[in-house]
Amino acid sequence: MLKKIAPILIITGLLTACVTSPTGRSQLLIMPDAEVDQMGLQSFATLKQQKPISQNPQYNQLVSCVASAITQEVGGGWEVVVFEGSSPNAFALPSNKIGVYTGMITLAAGNQDQLAAVIGHEVGHVLAKHSNERASQELAVNQGLGMVQTMSNPQTAMGQTAMGLLGIGVEYGVLKPYSRTHESEADIIGMDLMAKAGFDPSQSITLWQKMDQASQGQPPIEFTSTHPSHATRIQQLQQHLPQAMALFQQAQAMGKQPRCQ
């Protein structure tokens, strides 16, 4: 009897955990938001202890100004820290934490719109709950939940996860491709966010062109990378640019004209 009930309970749990992302994509979120937020808090506290924090007043003012304009579009209180580091990196964590490395500011040459593209992208990850989704997928795989619905609907996220287990494996078959999905989704969310805040969304394309040049002509191989290739990313942003420009023009008409530089 228990064997008959278990699959029903699992499927019921999966169905109730299915939500829709800001772009309309179906997601599976099992982890409680409070637990994911706590993980974000702990991670950020650890980073602040282990990584040197920039004391450059210009860098801190610039990043704080850009982040403030972006986060005003989504609400909530956000903590922003500039870390010392030559690599062009940035991140945002659940619990509304944003980190930008000085290498990213250098790459953007202090351009507020290009930094807005980066910060908007990272905030997009948080808004779309990508951390929760990734943790939920791995939890479901570890518990074998995905096997239940593989045959009934292999096109769902969990169905594909189980197929990955049966085929070429989780690393290349499921988790990395989903990471590319997250990156592409965050690109679109971030472009819209920066446009709504009054930043020029076309500068996001310029930023990724710079990233392409910084990679010295060696873009990641999409199949084995957690990020889309620069060419793919640029193409997707170019396709979405007309919609973002319409939001930018609306923001300009409303008087949203950030002056962070």
pLDDT in tens, 234-243: 899 999 999 9
Select the more confidently predicted residue: 98 or 10: 98
The length of the chain is: 261
Cα 97 to the chain's mean position, in Å? 13
Identify the pLDDT of residue 1. 42
Identify the pLDDT of residue 172. 37
Residue 169 has pLDDT above 70, yes or no: no
195-231 residue pLDDT tens: 999 999 999 999 988 988 887 656 554 444 556 677 8
Identify the pLDDT of residue 227. 63
Residue 158 has pLDDT above 60, yes or no: no
Catalytically annotated residues: 122
Q: Which of 5-9, 26-30, 113-117 has the lowest mean pLDDT?
A: 5-9
Identify the pLDDT of residue 150. 43
Q: Mean pLDDT, to the nearest integer, of 45-61?
A: 94
Cβ contact 98:78 at 8 Å: yes
Q: How far is it, in rounded angstroms, from Cα 99 to Cα 91?
A: 5
Residue 6 has pLDDT above 50, yes or no: no
Identify the pLDDT of residue 156. 55
Residue 139 has pLDDT above 80, yes or no: no
Percent of the chain with pLDDT over 70: 74
Reported as a pLDDT band with limits 50, 70 and 90, residue 136 is confident
Identify the pLDDT of residue 2. 36
